[in-house]
């Protein structure tokens, strides 16, 4: 039962992966280095900046504060899995582009994953609720105003007919 390495099987953005990993590797490093999905960013690596936020079974979590082995058997969504295909953006991403919700883009993966969960659970948020929702994600470019505007705009876009269904939370 104990070892320094383990084989983990998990689903990331709908694709199943099976990899051997050192047990001390964080989920964030696993996603970036073992799977090559470098959209998940690492800012602080101790749970402050929110850039590494992913959805674990539909719920936001900081991937730097989990071990990859803990994700065995679970389903993960990273920023790469948000857009419906290679040529279109998700309405949340479009709202970010249209509202100057990003400048350098470092915090964006964490902002998007955080807001996917938030807008699923709270489809008609107030500005104050949006600000609290992103309080665990640091942005040093935008002053947050563009991000808040983007989130409020996205809430509207997501209620339009034909808008994509947000990823559900799994028990």
Partner 1 sequence: MKPPPFRYYDPRTLADAIGLLGRLENAKVLAGGQSLMPMLNMRYVLPDHVIDLNRVDGLSYIREAGGAIEIGAMTRQRELEFSELIRTKLPLMQEAILQIGHRQTRNRGTIGGSLCHLDPAAELVTLGAAFDASVVVTGPNGQREIPFAEFPVAYMTTAIEPNEILTAVRFTRWPAGHGYAFVEFSRRHGDFAITSAAVLLEADGGGKIKRASVTIGGAAVTPVRAREVEQALVGNVPTPELMRQACESCRAIEAIEDIHAPASYRQHLAAVLSRRALEKAVPRIGQPLAAKLH
One residue of 12, 13, 39, 62 binding partner 1 per CB under 8 A:
62
Q: Is 15 in the site for partner 1 (CB under 8 A)?
A: no
Residue 137 near residue 49, CB atoms below 8 Å: yes
One residue of 133, 139, 151, 154 binding partner 1 per CB under 8 A:
133
Q: Is 61 in the site for partner 1 (CB under 8 A)?
A: yes
Range in contact with partner 1 (rule: CB under 8 A) among 8-16, 40-48, 93-101, 146-154: 40-48
CB of 132 to partner 1, least distance (A): 6
Comparing CB distances to partner 1, the nearer of 13 and 60 is: 60
In terms of DSSP bridges, do strands 5-12 and 53-56 run parallel, antiparallel, or are they unpaired?
unpaired
* Dist CA 15 CA 131 (whole Å): 32
Q: Is 56 in the site for partner 1 (CB under 8 A)?
A: yes
CB of 103 to partner 1, least distance (A): 21
Strand-pairing partners, residue 77, are 55
* Dist CA 165 CA 146 (whole Å): 24
Of residues 57, 61, 20, the one with CA closest to residue 40: 61
């Amino acid at each position: 039962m104990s070892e320094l390495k383990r084989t983990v099987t998990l689903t990331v953005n709908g694709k199943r992966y099976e990899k051997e990993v050192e047990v001390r590797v964080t989920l964030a490093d696993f996603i970036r280095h073992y799977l090559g999905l470098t959209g998940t960013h690492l800012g602080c690596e101790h749970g402050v900046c929110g850039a590494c936020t992913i959805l674990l079974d539909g719920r936001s979590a900081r991937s730097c504060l989990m071990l990859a082995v803990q994700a065995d058997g679970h389903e993960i969504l990273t920023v790469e899995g948000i857009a419906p295909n290679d040529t279109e953006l998700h309405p949340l991403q479009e709202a970010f582009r249209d509202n100057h919700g990003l400048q350098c883009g470092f915090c964006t993966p964490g902002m998007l994953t955080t807001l996917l969960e938030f807008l699923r659970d709270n489809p008609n948020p107030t500005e104050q609720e949006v600000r609290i929702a992103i309080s665990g994600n640091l942005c040093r470019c935008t002053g947050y105003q563009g991000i808040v505007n983007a989130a409020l705009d996205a809430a509207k876009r997501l209620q339009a007919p034909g808008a994509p269904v947000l990823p559900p939370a799994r028990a």
